[in-house]
Structure 1
Amino acid sequence: MTSNSFTCATTDGQSGPFPIPTDLLIGDAWRPAASGERIDILNPATEAVLTSVADASPAEGIAAVDAAAAAAAAWAATPPRKRAEILLACFHAMMAEQEWLAQLISLENGKALSDARGEVAYAAEFFRWYAEEAVRINGEISIAPSGANRIMVQYQPIGIALLITPWNFPAAMATRKIAPALAAGCTCIVKPAEETPLTALAVAEIMRRAGVPAGVVNVINTSAPGPVCSAILHDPRVRKLSFTGSTEVGRILLREAADQVISSSMELGGNAPFLVLDDADLDEAIEGAMIAKMRNAGEACTAANRFYVQRGIHDAFVAKLVERMGALRLGPGVDGATQCGAMINRQSIDKIEELVSDALGRGAEVRLGCKTPDGAGFFYPPSVIANVQPGSKILETEVFGPVAAVIPFDDADEAVALANATEYGLAAYVYTGDLKKGLQISERIECGMIALNRGLVSDAAAPFGGVKQSGLGREGAHHGMLDYCEAKYIAVSW
């Protein structure tokens, strides 16, 4: 264990089971950066420095590739049942530390402790799901139409994978990538977000203690992700890239990956519409809206941004949404009573303020909030703006915060057109009392995932991903593991 570490205590004052390493995990050892440089990690609720982590260089990125390459052959040859048992051990180990990990996530991310607890459970579930899927990488066999030969197809590990994770779900976005990669027989390098690396480092140490062999999972933190990731992606041994983050950064990474023709999975930006029809159950729609908008304080790619509400129910919906969002308690995430925690950084607050100001300047009306509180911490209150006009930036840009923009519509055709008027296509929400109508609308909305009369769409057993500028490929389900496999066709006669 490295001497550089961070000790996290739960709300009852109990320390975690081990100090969290704050160096680079390369092969079988935690090591400091050769430069000695470190990155300060802030608590978004107080703006205080929690600790610092090692700052990797491109050379250390290649050292991580070396470690992953050294472990690759043995891990690919490990029987699927053995890989499954190790992943299941990771699930149990992570769930045993749920409260401690939730506290850590709240400290470095700012989210409410209740959201953090939910994230740990969701993150651990990927280990359990892919423990079950690891033994189900089934091949295929058929007869060629001409009868000349058999067509045999095997699925083999694609190779070393670079996994780049975001700050908003620092545990779940790591396990959603690591678990299917390991289930398929791949080794990996994890590059967590600069703002929230501690959770990924803690998860990596839990995995080491649960039996993941050295070099199978490597973790590097860096303040220079461009040069470090470019160096890794230009190493011919690296064959897979999985990225969750903004569409803008995704485009840059796709260009980098093109030089070595690296298979790329992209889970990019969203701008989710939330459609409420006149015949919807108002109370159910409000419950769904609170989950879809306020889960993680709106800092989610699946968060509902644009609330399109049919005129017959519009005023009642806005009134109830204001009542419910106005009752939420804003405060530090580690306070168990908090329901809306801090945003990740000052830039997030600036972006929210800019989008709200633009909407108000175009004629939108403040129904709740929309005023940044004084004092330390990156806080923005739950807010509702109504009568948002076409052309407002908040309808075109992912707000990534606790602001609900409400727009009336007249009929279902108009609602679908408004929902599709975006370059994004990740998630959407539809509320109606008519199941047939809901399914018809769901088929017409251009996105990868629809929550029909539900406020939550994510599930480890479901294929998560978007269309248009929201990404490539799918995570979760059986689909997520196949993204880390290559299909090999063997022509054979007998």
Structure 2
Amino acid sequence: MFGSTRWQGPVPPPSAREVEAPQVPGGKVYAHEGGLLLPGSDGKWVNVTTLKVGSKTIPAHKYGLAEEKGEKLVLTPEEEKVVAAVRKIWEAILKMPVEEETDFFESGGTSADVTRLVEEIKFHTKVELDNTDIYMAPKFGENADAVIKKMRGGDKITVEYDPIIMNVNGMELKFPHELFIDGKFQPSSSGRQMTYDTINPSDETVICKIPKANVDDVNRAVAAAKAAFETGEWRKMSARERGKRLYKLADLMEEHKEELATLESIDSGAVYTLALKTHVGMSIDVWRYMAGWCDKIEGSTIPISNARPNFNLTITKREPIGVVGLITPWNYPLMMLSWKMSACLAAGNTVVHKPAQVTPLTALKFAELSVLAGIPNGVINIVTGSGGEIGQALTDHPHVRKIGFTGSTEIGAQVMASCARSNIKKVSLELGGKSPLIIFPDCDIDRAIKQTCNAVFFNKGENCIAAGRIFVANSIHDSFLKKLVEETKKYVIGDPLDRSTAHGPQNHKAHLDKLVEYVQKSVAGGAKVVLGGERLPRKGLFFPPTILAEVDDDNFAAIEESFGPIMCVSRFDDDDIDGVIRRANKTEFGLAAGVFSKDVSKVLRVSDRLQAGTVFVNTYQKTDVAAPFGGFKQSGFGKDLGQEALNEYLQTKTVTFEY
């Protein structure tokens, strides 16, 4: 018996099949879709998922059924050669002639021989086998058939859905567009007519219609996630096996990276090359990073006072929380999903995810890949639509035990309040920013120019850690500003799928309108437009890289986040280090900050005093999946990325023994 667990549910389970078994107490066992229930001598029941019957391993739920005999495969000449090659491998290992009914184990094969057999078959036939395939089919005929079926693709997992098919970016793009609940794509419970349009910001055309989920859909998704967490395969799976599934998911994302990047580009306006490298590339990296952590989540042993004359021992265990709700923004749709969900699943939780209403497509394509990776039904659920309705339903839901949110500080405060009112959910928030970047006169000017533009204009400025305010030392201010303008003019604005484009359209119309208004308010407060500042007169939601100079501390642009490609430049006296630090910290945000100087002592002192969760020194935008990411003050709390991210999705249990 393998995969045994103590059964906590009713006996017999619903729809169970009773099987006579005189060798066990009570004389009967129960086969059900989750395995086979066996009675113990203590009156408790144990559930097993696989059984050894003779030399063959079978799925436990098939115990007591007559063995199904499939039709004999009709082989092509090439397939006959493959079977002959497999036969030679068997004969070389067993050192005997091999017939159809030859049983590998009854003929002397050992577990070590299984590994050799699998590797030899892989090497000579290029067919991917696993040791389990031999245990499940130990006879030569069965093994040969399994190899041929795999060659024909007969064992591949398929995902059924009504696809959207587009010819775009030199490829045929096929993707789902419905809710993903309990492993299946499906319309909203309110009906197929309850949809909204998702728009391509480069030309403002409709890509497709997306279901507008309602509270009933959220309830169904949470119920599926709860069942998967409490009684499903995910809970029974070893941490190492869980990691293997996440590695497989990352591999599939890499295999489909061009499709994912194209979807990200047409749905969010991200430049394709950036989407490929960062939006998708970093997503793949974080799934692999977190997959490696699955079997390294450890507790501790703690020395405590003994209850004499007895002894005591205390241990801690790190356990998953349960059903997690994830709410992510529209600027990096796939990457924000991946940053949070990878840690969430690595810790053993299940999830209901609400992507941003305006950018749902990569999340739904990701859901398709998760099925192909073998993630069990109910572990990942994705509901699309309004944050005001379904986001609120998630934060209010009594069976959701944790919310991970990335978005504005205003909405983050509402999320936190809702989590407190409902069932005191654990919550992590990554919110707004107004990140200062300080340019000292002793910096590498050329590097600082390029990095400053990157700090502001990366991903069209739709970036939570974008440098919201640039402080430039007086002695270099004018020349530095001139070079900033020259560098910014090099940005090629255009179709995000064009490989020469460096700056694409803004994400959606309402956001573009806010950027126009942002510049107008800043100018009214005394700021000077040096470059850009108006919507471009072309099709699509294009706003150029913009530079504002002479931004005083009380100006609208010095206080509020633009979340767009707007650089706000201010002066400071070269020697007034304390003053510029005070000005940099004079904000309720604390997500990131930056400093440029060749003076190591200076940058260390300044970085110590900057009130931000991430400080960049002589660089900017350099994030990595192994480095924790999160803010101070009203930029939120909790970390994405790195080992610390796992803490957001785990809870500690203390167990004390006396002996």
Q: Which interval holds the TM-score relative to the shorter structure? A: over 0.9
The letter of the residue matching 1:66 is A
> 1:149 and 1:394 mapped to 2: Cα distance?
61
The letter of the residue matching 2:409 is T
Report whether the alignment pairs 1:134 with 2:294: yes
Runs (5+) with no aligned partner, structure 2: 1-158
Q: Which residue of 1 aligns with 2:414?
A: 252
Calculate the aligned-residue CA RMSD, in Å.
1.5
Contact 2:273–2:499 (CA under 8 A) maintained in structure 1: yes
Q: Which residue of 1 aligns with 2:54?
A: none
Runs (5+) with no aligned partner, structure 1: none
Change (3 A) 1:292 1:9: farther
Q: Which has the larger radius of gyration?
A: 2
Shift of 1:93: 0.8
> 1:237 and 1:373 mapped to 2: Cα distance?
47
Shift of 1:459: 1.3
> 2:432 and 2:558 mapped to 1: Cα distance?
14
- The one-character-per-residue Cα deviations of 1:362-391 (angstroms, maximum 9, x if unpaired) are 222222111221232111111111111221
> 1:365 and 1:236 mapped to 2: Cα distance?
51
Q: Which residue of 2 aligns with 1:55?
A: 212
3-state SS, counterpart of residue 464 of structure 1: coil
Higher alpha-carbon deviation: 146-155 or 197-206? 146-155
Contact 1:5–1:20 (CA under 8 A) maintained in structure 2: yes
Contact 2:352–2:381 (CA under 8 A) maintained in structure 1: yes
> 2:583 and 2:643 mapped to 1: Cα distance?
32
Q: Which has the higher contact order (CA 8 A, sep 6+)?
A: 1
Report whether the alignment pairs 1:427 with 2:584: no
3-state SS, counterpart of residue 451 of structure 1: strand
Q: Which residue of 2 aligns with 1:462?
A: 627
> 1:193 and 1:414 mapped to 2: Cα distance?
39
> 1:368 and 1:355 mapped to 2: Cα distance?
14
Higher alpha-carbon deviation: 158-167 or 285-294? 285-294
Shift of 1:7: 2.5
Q: Which residue of 1 aligns with 2:383?
A: 220
Shift of 1:2: 5.3
Q: Which residue of 2 aligns with 1:91?
A: 250
Contact 1:274–1:304 (CA under 8 A) maintained in structure 2: yes
- The one-character-per-residue Cα deviations of 1:377-433 (angstroms, maximum 9, x if unpaired) are 111111111111221111111111111110011121122111111111001111111
Report whether the alignment pairs 1:291 with 2:473: no
- The one-character-per-residue Cα deviations of 1:97-145 (angstroms, maximum 9, x if unpaired) are 2222111111010121122112100111111010111111011112026
> 1:480 and 1:257 mapped to 2: Cα distance?
20
The letter of the residue matching 2:293 is E
Q: Which residue of 2 aligns with 1:6?
A: 164
- The one-character-per-residue Cα deviations of 1:77-98 (angstroms, maximum 9, x if unpaired) are 3211111111111111111122
Contact 1:290–1:455 (CA under 8 A) maintained in structure 2: no
Report whether the alignment pairs 1:351 with 2:514: yes
> 1:132 and 1:398 mapped to 2: Cα distance?
36
3-state SS, counterpart of residue 172 of structure 2: coil
3-state SS, counterpart of residue 219 of structure 2: helix
> 1:473 and 1:426 mapped to 2: Cα distance?
12
1:108 is aligned, of 254, 257, 267, to: 267
1:301-450 matched pairs, under 5 angstroms: 301-410=464-573, 411-450=576-615
Q: Which residue of 1 aligns with 2:189?
A: 34
Contact 1:9–1:100 (CA under 8 A) maintained in structure 2: no
Shift of 1:492: 2.0
3-state SS, counterpart of residue 367 of structure 1: strand
Provide the aligned length of Structure 1 versus Structure 2. Answer: 490
Contact 2:526–2:555 (CA under 8 A) maintained in structure 1: no
Q: Which residue of 2 aligns with 1:203?
A: 366
3-state SS, counterpart of residue 653 of structure 2: strand
> 1:451 and 1:335 mapped to 2: Cα distance?
31
Q: Which residue of 1 aligns with 2:178?
A: 23
The letter of the residue matching 2:255 is A
The letter of the residue matching 1:132 is G
> 1:462 and 1:3 mapped to 2: Cα distance?
38
3-state SS, counterpart of residue 254 of structure 2: helix
3-state SS, counterpart of residue 567 of structure 2: strand
3-state SS, counterpart of residue 15 of structure 1: strand
> 2:408 and 2:222 mapped to 1: Cα distance?
25
Q: Tell me the TM-score normalized by structure 1.
A: 0.96
